[in-house]
Chain A
Amino acid sequence: MCAIIKVRQLLELLELLELLELLELLGLTHCAPITAAYILIHFLFYAGLPYLLLRTAIRNNNAVLINAMYKYMIDPFRSTNKYNYARLCVYSIHMHFILKPALRDIWDRMRTASLRGHTGRNVGWDFTLERMNLEVAQLLGSNISGERIQEVIRQLNGIRHVRGPALDAFGIGDPQGNEYNGINDTDVSIVVGHLRDAFKLDGTNDAGKLCAKKSNFFKTNDPEWKGLPWTRIAKVEESLGEYAVRMVGTAPQNDLRT
């Protein structure tokens, strides 16, 4: 009897899964009763704060956290068809793993660069080159030729050597201790205000009201809708392990691979 009930429950579950699949096919999963608070906290937990963590880790020259983010991002990249970046994550972790320890230490130590030597403002190395591109373009002006580019690069090595310490001595330009980040408190208050209004919070028992709120006012009926984030990630067919094995097989490697 017990077995029959379990089989029945299993069948019901399968039916539910089929129904969900059908809704997904019809692009109607966003009609499923997900609460707005769930999506907001989900964003913060799975995307907003990890992204901020990555930015902070780069400013902090923290190779451990940056590498952790490479591992974390494999599935999100795969679920959004960013396959080049998903592969890059695997390659990067693999490269870090197979390097000789002394070289790995150098990579970790030099993971990021500091443009001005100020506290907590390190940048990725490719950003230093973006800066170079910008400086070359600025100094070139509208008179562009191969010869002029080489000449400007020679000059920039001299100008850069003087500019940093001179600006520091003048006390201008991105001074130490300035916490400006482009996000001002007024904008933050506006967003918080919108959220409070949308959730109809008035300062009394807000936690209870937020948890009791059943609707999802973030919901859109856009024809471009591609599904909820966790559904999209879960839909990636190849398992992470299989994918990692397949990608490592194409990465630069040592001959002791088994």
Chain B
Amino acid sequence: MGASCSIQVPAWQVDQDRDAQHRFANPVTRERLKNNLLDGNYTRLVEAGRLNPQLLEPVLAVIGTRDMSADDLHDDVEALDMDEGVCSYSKRRLGAEMIVSLLTRLRNQNVYNFFAVVLSILALGAGVPVQFWALLSMMGLVFSRPWTIALVRELGVDVANRRVMGASTEVGWMVTDNKCYLQSIAVVNPDGPDQTKKANGEFLYTVNNLQAPVMMPSGIDIVVEEGELLQLLQLLQLLSPSVDINLSTRDRAGMDGRAKWRSAVSSVGAIDEITDFDRSTFLVVMSWQHFFMLDPKSFNILDHPNYDPDGATFYIYDPAIIDISTAAYIENIRILNTAQSLHINGGKNYFKIMFVVGDQQTYDRICRLICQRSTQYEWCIPINGDFHFTAHTVACFHELYFFPLTAYVVQKLGPGFVKTIKADDDNITHYKHYDHFYLLLTRATVRFLHEIFDPSTLMNPESLLESVRDNQGASTS
């Protein structure tokens, strides 16, 4: 850079072609840019400030840094502190970085300033309107929209095709659900019988899918053995030759497949798990006592638990399946066949087994299909999504407690709640309202009881219930 510009720019950010109009820069520069975006190390966001203290200092002198020196600006960790002063400091630091980045980029157009590149990608993700984007781009603040789209498209392909170190090559994990997009409105009827606007028009149905690598913490991949059940039957025949196990080829193939993921255990055990479930321990110890043992003064029962997920879960969005939903069996067959061609038969992966997560409808259909076509879908382990389960759990409790309790509380809380918490509402998209209300009621009831009873009384909910019960006919069953 040297003579033409006194601003210091990292070598990797400079396009060697020095062609300001070149949309993609030379391949080496672009590759370096993409590698820096892919490697997840974003400390380089503040490189312009670090390399140009002579620019940064005057900027900071103008905008102020409160009590922090310019040297502190180089400590990225502090910027994440939630303390109000540091948060404000973080804003100033980023503001200063943006100004310096802008100057470096304006001074020399063939610099692919990392800060501006990242800002452009964030702007694309945030859906910044095209007209406003053009303004920002003209100011040199962000890159042009077509340039940014081309870059994220390349990045997206790289991310989707990247081999994840430590991931299983035997077992995969995918999630699937339908989505309906309103393409155009044909009729809007604002005067419908329930006084709500109803849109009629053209809809596009799709099934969206995502896929997550199954990480093996030990570094040793799982070995999917085939034929465990067959081996067991053969052993049985060996031990008791009188037992006649006459299996057709199809039976053997099916059994071989089924043995891939199933233990040779009786289903009776699962029934026992359900019938022997210790409801009392679950309700008293795991649930009630767990929350009542938390110190009400220092700990809110709604606080987040102390579980460290060890980073964000990595997953990739797979191509959507267009023009289908998840309602019909034939549609679910298409979903499974698409997943099979992509992840089982080598389109992208050669997994032997895949967990397939879906909502209740998808889960139910897939279970039925596995029963009907066990050989074809031997690779599929269906799993129900816990988010939908949670939403229906609160809906179930709402149904049980609305008239006995909820209706009264809702009335007391006023119109805001009366409008949203209704007796009959089977639309699960309103889940957030119900979740909010029942968390509020739960937390308030816990506090109410804390204010009334001493801690030892609160440790025994069944006695507490007995002490307030005044009806001999009431059963807690």
Contact = CB atoms under 8 A, between A and B. Distances in A.
A97 to B, nearest CB: 4
Interface in B304-363: 304-313, 315-320, 322-323, 353, 355, 357-361, 363
B408 A254 contact: no
B404 A229 contact: yes
B477 A230 contact: yes
A47 to B, nearest CB: 4
Given A49-B288, A65-B286, A248 B408 contact: no
Given A58-B386, A144-B181, A38 B465 contact: yes
Contacts of A98: 262-263, 265, 267, 270
Contacts of B26: none
Interface string B283-297: 100111011000000
Contacts of B475: 230-231, 234
A120 B306 contact: yes
B43 A169 contact: yes
Q: Is the interface of A mostly helix, strand, loop or mixed?
A: helix
Interface stretch (B3-11, B61-69, B387-395): B387-395
B279 interface: yes
Interface stretch (B15-23, B100-108, B135-143, B436-444): B436-444
A254 B262 contact: yes
B313 A229 contact: no
B468 A211 contact: yes
Given A150-B320, A162-B155, A168-B80, A80 B396 contact: yes
A192 B444 contact: yes
A248 B82 contact: no
Contacts, number: 532
B263 A254 contact: yes
Nearest to B87: A171
Contacts of A192: 444, 447-448, 451
Given A52-B302, A124-B386, A125-B386, A91 B367 contact: yes
Contacts of B291: 49, 52-53
B258 A254 contact: yes
Interface in A209-258: 210-211, 213-214, 217-218, 220, 222, 224-226, 228-234, 240-241, 244-245, 248, 250-258
Interface residues of B, number: 172
B1 interface: no
A59 B273 CA distance: 24
B443 A72 contact: no
A88 interface: yes
B286 A126 contact: no
Interface in A16-30: 16, 20, 30
Nearest to B426: A82
Q: Is the interface of B mostly helix, strand, loop or mixed?
A: helix
Interface in B402-425: 403-405, 407-409, 412-413, 423-424
Given A95-B382, A103-B171, A47 B397 contact: yes
A176 B306 CA distance: 12
A124 B390 contact: yes
A191 B153 contact: no
A53 B281 CA distance: 13
B303 interface: yes
B304 A121 contact: yes
B470 A214 contact: yes
B358 A126 contact: yes
A40 B469 CA distance: 11
A207 B452 contact: yes
A48 B267 contact: no
A16 B302 CA distance: 43
Given A60-B307, A71-B277, A171-B79, A252 B371 contact: yes
10 shortest interchain CB distances as A-B pairs: A126-B385, A158-B155, A124-B387, A120-B304, A124-B386, A158-B152, A157-B156, A191-B444, A48-B442, A114-B309
Given A123-B387, A181-B302, A191-B448, 20 more contacts: A33-B471, A43-B401, A53-B286, A56-B305, A58-B387, A70-B389, A80-B396, A121-B304, A126-B177, A149-B204, A153-B317, A157-B155, A158-B121, A162-B125, A165-B40, A192-B448, A195-B448, A230-B474, A241-B274, A256-B265
15 contacts: A39-B405, A53-B287, A77-B396, A107-B383, A115-B312, A129-B177, A159-B125, A165-B40, A165-B42, A166-B121, A213-B468, A228-B404, A253-B267, A254-B267, A256-B266
